[in-house]
Amino acid sequence: MSSCFGKMFKVSTWGESHGKAIGAVVDGCPSGLEISEEYIQVFLDRRRPGQSLLTTQRKESDRVKILSGIFEGKTTGTPISLMVENEDHHSSDYESIKDWYRPGHADEVYDCKYGFRDYRGGGRASARETVARVAAGSIARKFLNEKHGTEFLAHLDGNIEADIENARKNGDSIGGIICLQIKNPPKNLGEPVFDRTEALLAMAMLSIPATKGFEIGEGFNSAKMLGSEHNKLAAGTYGGITNGEDIFCKIAFKPTPSISLPQKAKNKNGEIGEISIKGRHDPCVAVRAPVIVESMAALVLMDLWLRNLR
């Protein structure tokens, strides 16, 4: 399995949804950067579940522990190990459907590819894994902010609170779109032809669970424009290389596949039946996604910044 992201600023995530802990190892961070558990916690708190009825009611404090790579409050240049314990997993919720493949989930393909899977909350395929991305991304964004004044700002597009609430009451779910602005990105980032900045951003965003679409700049709307119109717009990248202008992206998230409504499903024996998924799930996964999107963008730019030093 591929659990490592980046070439120079390398992040390996580990852990499962219902395991003892989730974590990341960050390798390649320059020394001398001030990092504390309190700083990282600010971003983990933005992602943390159970803060309203519009998110999963799984109660996790998501308290981060720095295990290595920091001495006297600063990075040493050695691997940084981060850990967040899982405190409120209810594995028994999945016992009744452990032999069934949940619609819209990775259950069947994991079984088919590996011949074995952790059925508790999706195991490694769970969005719980993004805790580690946010923790690692907080380090990248701090470095870029101090060096270049770069900021990563993401938000949920539109006011869909009423739609989420209706879906939640009906045992259903909805999707959403996250808008991302990268302010003051460093210039000259990007490695044509295959490691273009926008190509790596697209890969990073589409690696987030439940993502189904990515746009940069005018995106699909550019196909309807004239060249004279499009050439006047700020794009942030040309030829895959950043020009210092702000970068704008949109990321589409599908509806949460775990819903309590009865659904047709297939089991390991190929039989078709009906299941209802128990447990605590987000009626809209996009609600907690902005900080995850920001974190992945920071990891991309941090890695490209280090590669630019060669």
> What CA–CA distance (Å, rounded) separates 39 from 25?
17
> What CA–CA distance (Å, rounded) separates 44 from 22?
12
**Terminal Cα distance for the chain, rounded:** 29
Q: Which fold has domain 4-307?
A: Chorismate synthase, AroC fold (3.60.150)
The DSSP symbol for 127 reads G
> What CA–CA distance (Å, rounded) separates 141 from 152?
8
Q: Tell me the mean pLDDT in the region 55-69.
A: 84
Look at residue 30 and tell me whether its pLDDT is greater than 90.
yes
Domain borders along the chain are 4-307
Look at residue 56 and tell me whether its pLDDT is greater than 70.
no
Helix/strand/coil for 216 = strand
> What CA–CA distance (Å, rounded) separates 189 from 196?
8
Q: What is the pTM of this model?
A: 0.95
Look at residue 88 and tell me whether its pLDDT is greater than 80.
no
pLDDT tens, position by position, 213-271: 999 999 999 999 999 999 999 889 999 999 999 999 999 999 999 999 999 999 999 99
Q: Which residues contact 35 (CB under 8 A, 6 or more apart)?
A: 66, 70, 73, 74, 75, 80, 139, 142
Identify residue 113 by its one-letter amino acid code. K
Give the number of C-alpha atoms closer than 13 A to the C-alpha of residue 226, restricted to the C-beta side: 2
Q: Check if the beta carbon of residue 34 is closer than 8 Å to that of residue 146.
A: no
